[in-house]
Structure 1
Amino acid sequence: MPAYLFPVAGVLLGLIIGSFLATLILRWPEGRSVITGRSSCDHCGHQLRARELIPVGSFLLQSGKCRQCGSKIASDHVAIEIAAALIGGLALFAAPDVQGVTGAVYGWLLLTLAALDVKHHWLPDRLTVILALSGLLASLLMVAPTFLDRLTGGLAGYASLAILAAAYKFVRGRDGLGGGDPKMLGAIGCWLGWQALPLVILGASLVGILVAISWRLRGENVTRESMLPLGSLMAVAAFPIWLYQTANVGLY
């Protein structure tokens, strides 16, 4: 297959994967099965037909409304599909080979964790472990980072935030970080290596500042007590860093 078709394939695969991820993000926190049970309208319970389950397309054709009751469909689902499509396209544009496929998987896992953190302030251990293990296994397919760099990144990422969280609690007497944040940074370190960890934290901080500014522009009150989903911020920073590494412009 010509190299220019790989990003197109990544976008199409991303749309399909994104539809599944959006269902997982909706059902998992509610304790519902992701595999069994047909998709239905959240308002009237209308079971969706195949033509109503086309990623992005069905949303546009139905003007974002349920065919049965006319209620507005939550935009979260289509946003996840579009994000997954972009991740697939960018990953296979950066590396039109098996490395690009593994990078897309990395991005889709980050997307799922980020969405769960934003909506529920929840970073599931099972998903974080999958992210970490897949990062270590990816060293078998990629030249850099090496397995040792990835393993060191996993340990250093977890330890750095765990120590910071413990110090904050000791000084302030309350939690400042969620229990999943150190695990999340450790899992990202298993993909990017220890050298990239400062960039992940820097990127997450910059994204957090932009989020806080957007809140202020919308008239929301932003104080030291305001909660930002650090896991989501790190995820937003971590995928572009993978793209940067893969483009061979520096880091190693």
Structure 2
Amino acid sequence: MSPVLAAVVMGLLGLIIGSFLAAVSVRLPREEDIVVARSRCMGCDRPLRPWELVPLVSWLVLRARCARCGAAISPRYPLIELGAALVGVWAGFSGSSGLMIAATAVLGWQLLLIAIIDGENFWLPDVLTWPLAATGLIAAALTGWDVALSHLIGAVVGFGGLWLVGWLYKAVRKRDGLGGGDPYLFAGAGAWVSWIGLPSVLLWASAAGLSLVFGLLVVRRSVSATDKLPFGVFLAVGIWLTWLYGPLGL
């Protein structure tokens, strides 16, 4: 399959996956059923009909309004669908084999959902971080068991290292500096990029976090040391860039 065809196919698949991710990002924080429950309008609570669930197209055709009650449909839904489609296109162009394309897409879609959940709720649920580590180890095992071992070590080092940082911070500052889900997400990072990629993940994450802080300083002129930042979002950026471009300096 040519890279262009692969990108088109994965992009279309990404739109479908993105529709599911958008639903999960709303239902998971509310502890609603993810698999069985039908999608409903947030305004009138009526189940959406099949033609109202076509990714991106339905939102455009309906002009961002419910067909029954006229309630506004948030642009976050098509934006998430487009984000997942972009991940699919990126995977189609970056993969050298079917396995690599699939692995890149799966990683990107997982990171997208994790970043959305953490960015909106400051929460990294185990139901997302643990599967990230599992899929990383599976992808490594499909490459070779010798590769899988280094990625397993990466998962262990990732969890233990960030957990220790959080413990030391709390011991010194007497308050939490990291969320409870961050070590599990960093374990997922090690499972995907191996132990050798973990420093790069942290460097990319720190760069992304500092960029946000500088942006806030420009807009708000002040940032407090007690302001909460969704570190999981920055880790997701670091994992994605390290996976795509490899550890920095190597």
Normalising by structure 1, what TM-score? 0.91
Please give the residue correspondences for 1:82-161 in structure 2 after superposition, counting only pairs within 5 Å.
82-95=82-95, 96-142=97-143, 146-161=147-162
Cα deviation, residue 191, structure 1: 0.4
**TM superposition shift of 1:24:** 1.0
Partner residue in 2 for 1:177: 178
Equivalent AA in structure 2 for residue 87 of structure 1:
V
CA displacement at 1:250 relative to structure 2: 7.9
Shift of 1:213: 2.8
Contact (CA 8 Å) 2:200, 2:248: kept in 1 or not? no
Identity among equivalent positions (%) equals 39
Q: Deviations over 1:19-74 (max 9, x none)?
A: 11111111122121112222121112232222211111222222222222322212
* Residue in 2 that maps onto 1:231: 232
Distance in 1, matches of 2:78 and 2:249, equals 34
Aligned equivalent of 1:29: 29
Q: Secondary structure at the match of 1:149?
A: helix
Q: CA deviation at 1:251?
A: 6.5
Partner-residue secondary structure (3-state), 1:24: helix
Deviation at 1:203, TM superposition (A): 0.8
Question: In 2, Cα distance between the equivalents of 1:218 and 1:51?
Answer: 41
Give the letter aligned to residue 30 of structure 1. Answer: R
Quick check: 1:99–1:142 contact (8 Å CA) kept in 2?
Answer: no
Conserved in 2, the CA contact under 8 Å of 1:196 and 1:251? no
- Measure, in 1, the Cα distance between the counterparts of 2:231 and 2:124: 10
Q: CA deviation at 1:148?
A: 2.2
Tell me which stretches of 4 or more aligned residues in structure 1 moved more than 4 Å. Answer: 249-252
- Deviation string, structure 1 residues 213-252 (Cα, Å, up to 9, x no partner): 333344374211111111111102211221113xxx9866
Distance 2:83 2:145 in 1: 26
Structure 1 position 158, deviation (Å): 1.0
How many residues get paired? Answer: 249
Residue identity in the other structure for 1:23: A
What TM-score does the superposition give when structure 2 sets the normalisation length? 0.92
- Please list, as runs of the form range in 1=range in 2, the aligned pairs for 1:207-246 lying within 5 A after superposition: 207-219=208-220, 221-245=222-246
Gaps of 5+ in 2: none
Task: Mark the CA change 1:132 to 1:251 in structure 2 (over 3 Å): closer, same or farther.
Answer: farther
Equivalents in 2 of 1:140, 1:69: separation in Å? 50
- The answer on 1:67 being equivalent to 2:31 is no
* Distance across 2 between alignment mates of 1:144 and 1:73: 47
Q: Which runs of 5+ in 1 are unaligned?
A: none
